[in-house]
């Protein structure tokens, strides 16, 4: 089971926008980078699924206005330092790296005689400031990044590589004295290589977690399969600080097709005029937020939909595109148009049945503006991190911007440290032990794993979902902890595999969210508490 030992200067885990840009910028600065993904293709990421766009700077816009919007959506519990850092630096990085550097094709203004971009509107933005590439912005950016990485020297991309644990001095050195160092340090990761079914030791001067969020621990999500919070729980076990885990954002609109995985219906559709109505035909958002209506912050729109579904005993609401969006819907939203068409819905004629779904984690591994975590040598960028930017509720189209900005600054910081000789001694690296397999039993049973996942996903959806109560949270924690004691035993005696690692990590993530939700008695943003015991069946 123990595989090879490998050394690199910078180990980046995750190939979405944050990890890819970090790897690219670091390699361009002469750093040797190893970039890992547990998936079979680096392209398979949540970034690839991002539809709406990336916030930039619109007409009549200013950093001050952007800051106000982020903080209003975040319910005022944002890190002011992180917000100011993003609004000051983010748009310039978009321009330098994406527009001028990688020539990402954002949709231009439709009026051919005027140069510029077709800025989109999304919820809670005071002005149109979102760059988009039709409705597949993430895909276009991800393609450009992966292509640039393929051309770049100094980067090795490894697929089918699932991280099991971060390596730290205190936990994994063979040198007895290392356990007494006061400040622990991350030195890479133990990685399960799917093809050879061995665990490699990847030693790194600096390790960057860019593994994304945890939407797939919920029954309904817009996320890529297998997005279960790996990075967060590994960082937690290694001793890094984790923050704001109760703030799981539910996107208001995903396509409702009973029995089918949810598909995102971008907020940009409402930005173009589409309106939400209940099955009686009432456009209900005016009632909940008379100022922003259908373009209210996400937490409010999600809660409003939930209320309507409860009140009217309905399993979904409707998004009316046909009567409210002018222009060529098929050209503006080709992915959404095609997906709905394949499901038998012509959105130019009939409304789309929609429901909320788990979408984005506003919390995660606490980092500063360079992406440094509280554990020396460990960085976190993108959704896995908690920069504090989003507070209790993320403003639309700021996730790609956050990933890009922090990925870039983390890379620069790492390059600077490596070039100035802030590195770990060879002897320390050599003291790290090989992976010691916990168990060798080949007793993995897919039926048991599938059942455990069903329990986790239902528990999270029903008890730690859109609306929470202390009673539900108490039950969730008790059930999840009970399951954990069983799964931990199984994990310890069974030969390691991708599915078992995923279950172990997903369950730990679920417990972190449920416990954080129980600790926070204040109903705010995405953490909505209620004493009402009604529940929607979706
Ligand atoms: C969307 O297109 O609605 C999603 C964009 C985001 O998550 O910010």
55: CA distance to ligand 1 center in Å? Answer: 10
The closest of 311, 526, 402, 353 to 16, measured between CA atoms, is 402
Pairwise CA distance, residues 354 & 205, whole Å: 46
Q: The whole model's pTM is what?
A: 0.96
The stretch 39-61 carries a mean pLDDT of 96
The stretch 512-537 carries a mean pLDDT of 87
pLDDT band, residue 442 (cuts 50/70/90): confident
pLDDT band, residue 381 (cuts 50/70/90): very high
The stretch 381-405 carries a mean pLDDT of 98
The closest of 456, 446, 467 to 525, measured between CA atoms, is 467
Work out which ligand 1 atom sits closest to the CA atom of 396.
Answer: 8
Give the model's pLDDT for residue 180: 94
Give the model's pLDDT for residue 114: 74
Work out which ligand 1 atom sits closest to the CA atom of 398.
Answer: 8
Work out which ligand 1 atom sits closest to the CA atom of 397.
Answer: 8
The stretch 489-497 carries a mean pLDDT of 88
Contact 262, 355 (CB under 8 A): yes
Ligand 1 pocket test target in 268, 334, 335, 382 with most atoms within 8 Å of CB: 268
Give the residues across from 161 on adjacent strands: 193
Work out which ligand 1 atom sits closest to the CA atom of 137.
Answer: 2
Give the model's pLDDT for residue 519: 97
Q: What is the pLDDT of residues 197-236, one digit of tens each?
A: 999 999 999 999 999 999 999 999 999 999 999 999 999 9
Q: Pairing relation of β-strands 467-468 and 378-380?
A: unpaired
pLDDT band, residue 110 (cuts 50/70/90): confident
Alpha helices per DSSP H over 57-152: 63-73, 80-93, 137-151
CB atoms within 10 A of CB 525: 25
Pairwise CA distance, residues 155 & 489, whole Å: 38
Cα–Cα distances (Å) from 2 to 9, 30, 462, in that order, read 22, 31, 40
Q: Is residue 533 predicted with pLDDT exceeding 80?
A: no
What percentage of the chain reaches a pLDDT higher than 90?
92
pLDDT band, residue 112 (cuts 50/70/90): low
310: CA distance to ligand 1 center in Å? Answer: 25
The stretch 122-151 carries a mean pLDDT of 97
pLDDT band, residue 338 (cuts 50/70/90): very high
Pairwise CA distance, residues 245 & 240, whole Å: 14
Residues enclosing ligand 1, CB less than 6 A?
50-52, 266-268, 360, 396-397, 399
pLDDT band, residue 439 (cuts 50/70/90): confident
Which residue shows structure tokens 């189209």? Answer: 397
Give the model's pLDDT for residue 492: 85
Pairwise CA distance, residues 142 & 159, whole Å: 16
pLDDT band, residue 50 (cuts 50/70/90): very high
pLDDT band, residue 245 (cuts 50/70/90): very high
Tokens of 26: 């670091």
The closest of 234, 212, 231, 239 to 223, measured between CA atoms, is 212
Catalytic positions are 298
The stretch 387-391 carries a mean pLDDT of 98
CB atoms within 10 A of CB 102: 18
Give the residues across from 155 on adjacent strands: 33
Crossing angle (nearest 10°) for helices 399-419 and 80-93: 90
Dihedral of alpha carbons 330, 336, 339, 344, sign: negative
Domains in the chain and their CATH numbers? Answer: 2-246+362-430 (3.50.50.60), 248-359 (3.90.700.10), 446-495+497-529 (1.20.58.100)
Higher pLDDT, 280 or 112: 280
203: CA distance to ligand 1 center in Å? Answer: 36
Q: Is residue 452 predicted with pLDDT exceeding 60?
A: yes
Which residue shows structure tokens 């209790």? Answer: 392
Pairwise CA distance, residues 203 & 191, whole Å: 10
The stretch 398-414 carries a mean pLDDT of 98
Pairwise CA distance, residues 12 & 6, whole Å: 14
Q: Is residue 535 predicted with pLDDT exceeding 90?
A: no
The stretch 271-293 carries a mean pLDDT of 97
The stretch 342-368 carries a mean pLDDT of 98
The stretch 167-192 carries a mean pLDDT of 96
Pairwise CA distance, residues 124 & 267, whole Å: 11
Give the residues across from 166 on adjacent strands: 189
The closest of 493, 313, 410 to 89, measured between CA atoms, is 410
Contact 68, 393 (CB under 8 A): no
464: CA distance to ligand 1 center in Å? Answer: 22
Contact 214, 229 (CB under 8 A): yes
Pairwise CA distance, residues 113 & 366, whole Å: 46
Any idea which of 31-40, 180-189, 484-493, 516-525 has the lowest mean pLDDT?
484-493
Q: What is the pLDDT of residues 23-37, one digit of tens each?
A: 999 999 999 999 999
Contact 148, 348 (CB under 8 A): no
Give the model's pLDDT for residue 115: 81
Give the model's pLDDT for residue 441: 78
Q: Is residue 154 predicted with pLDDT exceeding 70?
A: yes
Give the model's pLDDT for residue 538: 56
pLDDT band, residue 81 (cuts 50/70/90): very high
Give the model's pLDDT for residue 243: 98
Give the model's pLDDT for residue 445: 86
Q: Is residue 536 predicted with pLDDT exceeding 70?
A: no
Give the model's pLDDT for residue 444: 81
If you ran DSSP here, which 8-state letter would residue 465 be given?
A: S
The stretch 242-260 carries a mean pLDDT of 97
pLDDT band, residue 111 (cuts 50/70/90): low
């Amino acid at each position: 089971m123990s595989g090879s030992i490998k050394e690199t200067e910078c180990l980046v885990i995750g190939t979405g926008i944050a990890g890819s840009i970090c790897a690219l910028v670091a390699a361009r600065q002469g750093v040797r980078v190893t970039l890992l993904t547990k998936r079979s293709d680096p392209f398979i990421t949540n970034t690839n699924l991002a539809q709406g766009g990336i916030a930039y700077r619109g007409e009549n816009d200013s950093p001050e206005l952007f800051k106000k919007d982020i903080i209003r959506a975040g319910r005022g519990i944002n890190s002011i330092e992180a917000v100011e850092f993003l609004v000051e630096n983010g748009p310039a990085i978009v321009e330098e790296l994406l527009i001028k550097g990688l020539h990402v094709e954002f949709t231009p203004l439709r009026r051919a005689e005027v140069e510029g971009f077709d800025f989109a509107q999304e919820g809670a933005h005071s002005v149109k400031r979102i760059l988009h590439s039709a409705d597949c912005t993430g895909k276009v950016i991800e393609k450009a990044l992966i292509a640039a990485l393929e051309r770049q020297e100094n980067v090795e991309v490894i697929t089918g590589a699932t991280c099991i644990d971060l390596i730290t001095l205190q936990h994994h050195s063979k040198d007895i004295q290392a356990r007494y160092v006061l400040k622990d340090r991350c030195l890479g990761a133990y990685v399960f290589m799917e093809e050879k079914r061995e665990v490699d030791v990847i030693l790194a001067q600096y390790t960057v977690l860019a593994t994304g969020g945890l939407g797939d621990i919920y029954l309904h999500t817009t996320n890529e399969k297998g997005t279960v919070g790996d990075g967060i729980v590994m960082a937690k076990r290694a001793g890094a600080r984790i923050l704001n885990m109760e703030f799981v954002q539910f996107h208001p609109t995903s396509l409702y097709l009973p029995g089918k995985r949810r598909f995102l219906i971008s907020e940009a559709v409402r930005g173009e005029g589409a309106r939400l109505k209940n099955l009686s035909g009432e456009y209900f958002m005016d009632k909940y937020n008379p100022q922003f209506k259908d373009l209210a912050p996400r937490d409010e729109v999600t809660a409003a939909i939930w209320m309507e579904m409860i009140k009217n005993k309905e399993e979904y609401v409707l998004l009316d595109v046909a009567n409210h969006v002018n222009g060529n819907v098929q050209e503006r939203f080709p992915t959404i148009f095609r997906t709905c068409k394949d499901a038998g819905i012509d959105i130019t004629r009939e409304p789309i049945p929609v429901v909320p779904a788990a979408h984005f984690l506003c919390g995660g591994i606490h980092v500063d503006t360079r992406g440094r975590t509280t554990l020396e040598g460990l960085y976190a960028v993108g959704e896995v991190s908690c920069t504090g930017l989003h507070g209790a509720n993320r403003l639309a189209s700021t996730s790609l911007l956050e990933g890009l900005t922090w990925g870039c600054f983390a890379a620069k910081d790492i390059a600077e440290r490596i070039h100035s000789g802030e590195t770990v001694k060879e002897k320390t690296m050599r003291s790290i032990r090989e992976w010691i397999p916990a168990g060798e039993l080949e007793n993995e049973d897919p039926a048991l794993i599938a059942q455990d996942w069903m329990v986790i996903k239902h528990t999270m959806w029903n008890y730690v979902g859109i609306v929470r109560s202390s009673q539900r949270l108490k039950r969730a924690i008790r059930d999840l902890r009970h399951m954990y004691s069983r799964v931990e035993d199984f994990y310890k005696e069974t030969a390691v595999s991708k599915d078992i690692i995923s279950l172990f990590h997903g369950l730990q993530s679920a417990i972190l969210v449920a416990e954080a939700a129980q600790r926070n008695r204040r109903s705010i943003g995405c953490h909505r508490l209620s004493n009402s015991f009604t529940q929607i069946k979706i």
